[in-house]
Structure 1
Amino acid sequence: MHVLGELSIEEFLRDYWHKKPVLIRNAWADFEPLLSSQELAGLSLEQEIESRIVEEEGKDGPWSIRKGPFTEDDYLELPENKWTLLIQGVDQWIPEAADLLEYFRFIPGWRIDDLMISYATDGGSVGPHYDQYDVFLLQAEGQREWRTGQMCGEDTPFMKGPKIRILENFEESDRWVLNPGDMLYLPPALAHWGIARGECQTYSIGFRAPALTELAPLVFDDVMDNASDDQRYADPDLPQQSSTGLIDTAAAQRLRKLLTDAISDDERLQSIIGRLMTDPKYAEHVPEAVALEEDGRTLLAQSDNWKRAEFSRFAYSVHEDHCRFYAMGQEWVLPAGDQPLLSLLSDNRSYEAQVIISSIHSEDAEKMLKSLIEQHFIYDPEVEYGD
């Protein structure tokens, strides 16, 4: 199924992705919500599930926010209208939610973050704000009015008081009402404001954009692991200077070259991205690994079908004579002949056992598959983790 309506993937990427919003009417025809409002509330009672409630006027004043887990009494105390329940990472817990994300893999899968579900009563909202990432807003139930405004940045002022970031000024440019199956794409930094018209559910498909603060420590560690004392600042082009204490721009340029040369290896950068972007969002919820005696082929043959776990993130990179596979922050280096296997694992969520087995090129790949099974990164959908 194609979720971009009359837009082709090429048109969407060229004209809208990371650039400007676009409303896609009836993107998902006859869409039915995966969970009822009662089931969503039930998820928010669970300790391990990230949840929040936002009230336009709460006990703490305007735009009050509370974090879960909640109790049934918490819901009894809420007003009739103007509050919102947010459930983060629903794809981690509900297989059908993880399956829904597969429809958005026209964007590289390693960029997909999670599925957040928002349930709101009439007038419910989280206020005018902006996000640092791309997002698709799929209307699942009821109606929600969306307003979009200005592009924002580091200097954009926020209201003083609320514990969530509410824009001090919102400069409305467009307004739409979304019905079930409609979808709105928003690029990063665009001010937006969603308001429920009656009870409604909205699904937010967010995309991860690693910050420099996340990348820099990994790059630094990589540089330190690969650096030698022979790599030093050098100035064979040094001219005579009028001031002996001056650090001129040429010195800065030499230092910049030393640093950029240290991070110029594409493979090492791909490795950093692969490990970072497949790192589990909720590592504490990953089941404990088990040691199995059988080899990879034997384990795979014990089931007709296998599935990538809801929490699993896979990616791979291809190099001159080998490949790298990334799963849950881990990395395997395999022969180039294993590329079809890595593509199969990364590009799909469900697998036929015989297709996986026939794609194994090397002994290292078989060992990797055994490790994926032992760590529950792929699993037999007919068997529970504890069985």
Structure 2
Amino acid sequence: MQIDHPTPMLAGLSPAQFMRQHWQKQPLLVRQAFAGAAPPATLKALAALAARDDVESRLVTAFDGDWQLRHGPIARLPAMAKPGWTLLVQGLDQHLAEARALLDRFRFVPDARLDDLMLSVASDGGGVGPHFDSYDVFLIQLAGRRRWRIAAQQDAVLRDDVPLKIIANFKPEQEFVLDAGDMLYLPPGWAHDGVAVGPGCITGSVGFRASAAQALAAELLPRLFDEGDEAGELYADPQQQAVAAPARVPAALLDFARRAVEAAVQRPEALERALGEALTEPKATVWFEPGEPLPPGQGACLDRRSRMLYDATQVFLNGESFRAGGRDAALMQRLADARALTAAEVAELSAEARELLDQWTEDGWVQPQPS
């Protein structure tokens, strides 16, 4: 991706300029960011996805002002002629190549932050109410029209009488009506309310991962101790005195525990490995179809569901880590960045790396590159 080239998708800004001027700073409205773009799925296809138990979906209705939320699978949708409902289908990039291609347009943001593409289908007046998101979001109008009202308000009190996180005292400061092809970027914490103007409104939402510090630590710590080949130092207390308060935790044991955690974090590449594995761990709804080893003379590409990252010494794919160096490391990094390797690049892999690539294709993580 040419990060220094201006693009209509970002209102004539280059990705580099957008990140400096707008990312996590201020909203950006882009008229015809995706001129001529079509939704990656029809309403019929989205309804079929929402009926599956391996697809995350929600149906939000506000009939006669009565807010209701139903989680999928959703066997039947209301008629499009009935105002006031919205279908949300999460992780569409995991199921449709067209959705994955749309998500890839935003890879000027690190993959470690890029989450997924959600599609919202709404009848006239449909929406999910005014709310906050804790992450950045690009809202792409793909069909129909939607009215957005936004505000930088700090009042985060939510209504307690509805099953959604709806702001109780929303005070919009700006209003836009988006037509098909338009896009609105919002930084984290901007209150927003989108309402369909007419039936057949389809909006794509590109969301990003924003890990809370405590949640990230809770995910990393088990991985730091998941070596399985070293018992480590055993606690010993030859100087322990007799105690009159046996339930009190000994200070020496607390110090031992603190040193154990600090030592785990400080092991070479341990934290890097744990973070890379955590960031590439597939979601619970993701599964891969087993394949065959890569045919000779064939290029390779990542399956659209695969997550692949790398650092200076390791590559990470779908929750696993692999050491790589030299030419193999450069080629594996190329696979992660471009999500594909040409046949000529595959031919440059060492025998060991080629064997690993074949294993990935058998696991379904990598697919043969289409001709």
**TM-score band, normalised by shorter chain:** 0.7 to 0.9
Name the counterpart of 1:373: 361
Gaps of 5+ in 2: 2-6, 236-256
Query: Cα distance 1:282–1:151, how it changes in 2: closer, same or farther (>3 A)?
Result: farther
Bigger drift between 161-170 and 206-215 goes to 206-215
Name the counterpart of 1:220: 221
Matches of 1:63 and 1:192, distance apart in 2: 17
Q: 1:24, 1:183 within 8 Å by CA — same for their partners in 2?
A: yes
Q: 1:150, 1:171 within 8 Å by CA — same for their partners in 2?
A: no
**1:7 is the counterpart of 2:13:** yes
Secondary structure class of the residue paired with 1:39:
helix
Matches of 1:53 and 1:262, distance apart in 2: 44
Q: 2:139, 2:203 within 8 Å by CA — same for their partners in 1?
A: yes
Q: 1:44, 1:70 within 8 Å by CA — same for their partners in 2?
A: yes
Matches of 2:145 and 2:265, distance apart in 1: 49
Name the counterpart of 2:321: 331
Q: 2:340, 2:369 within 8 Å by CA — same for their partners in 1?
A: no
Gaps of 5+ in 1: 232-254
Name the counterpart of 1:19: 25
**1:269 is the counterpart of 2:264:** no
Shift in Å at residue 338 of structure 1? 2.2
**1:209 is the counterpart of 2:204:** no
Q: 1:129, 1:193 within 8 Å by CA — same for their partners in 2?
A: yes
Query: Cα distance 1:190–1:260, how it changes in 2: closer, same or farther (>3 A)?
Result: farther
Shift in Å at residue 16 of structure 1? 1.0
User: Percent identity at matched positions?
Assistant: 36
Matches of 1:256 and 1:194, distance apart in 2: 48
The aligned runs of 1:120-199 (5 Å cut-off) are 120-152=122-154, 156-199=156-199
Name the counterpart of 1:234: none
Shift in Å at residue 23 of structure 1? 0.9
**1:340 is the counterpart of 2:330:** yes
AA aligned to 2:21 is D
For residue 89 of structure 2, the aligned residue among 87, 90, 93 is 87
Query: Cα distance 1:9–1:259, how it changes in 2: closer, same or farther (>3 A)?
Result: same
Q: 2:315, 2:333 within 8 Å by CA — same for their partners in 1?
A: no
Shift in Å at residue 300 of structure 1? 4.3
Shift in Å at residue 337 of structure 1? 3.1
Number of equivalent positions: 342
Q: 1:146, 1:195 within 8 Å by CA — same for their partners in 2?
A: yes
Question: Scaled by the length of structure 2, what TM-score is found?
Answer: 0.82
AA aligned to 2:74 is F
Residue deviations 1:31-63, cap 9 Å, x none? 1222222222222122221111111237xx732
Query: Cα distance 1:35–1:219, how it changes in 2: closer, same or farther (>3 A)?
Result: closer
Residue deviations 1:70-119, cap 9 Å, x none? 223x535x871011011111111111111111111100123211110001
Residue deviations 1:172-196, cap 9 Å, x none? 1211111111111111121111011
Question: Scaled by the length of structure 1, what TM-score is found?
Answer: 0.79
For residue 30 of structure 1, the aligned residue among 36, 39, 45 is 36
AA aligned to 2:93 is D
Query: Cα distance 1:257–1:131, how it changes in 2: closer, same or farther (>3 A)?
Result: farther
Secondary structure class of the residue paired with 2:35:
coil
**1:66 is the counterpart of 2:84:** no
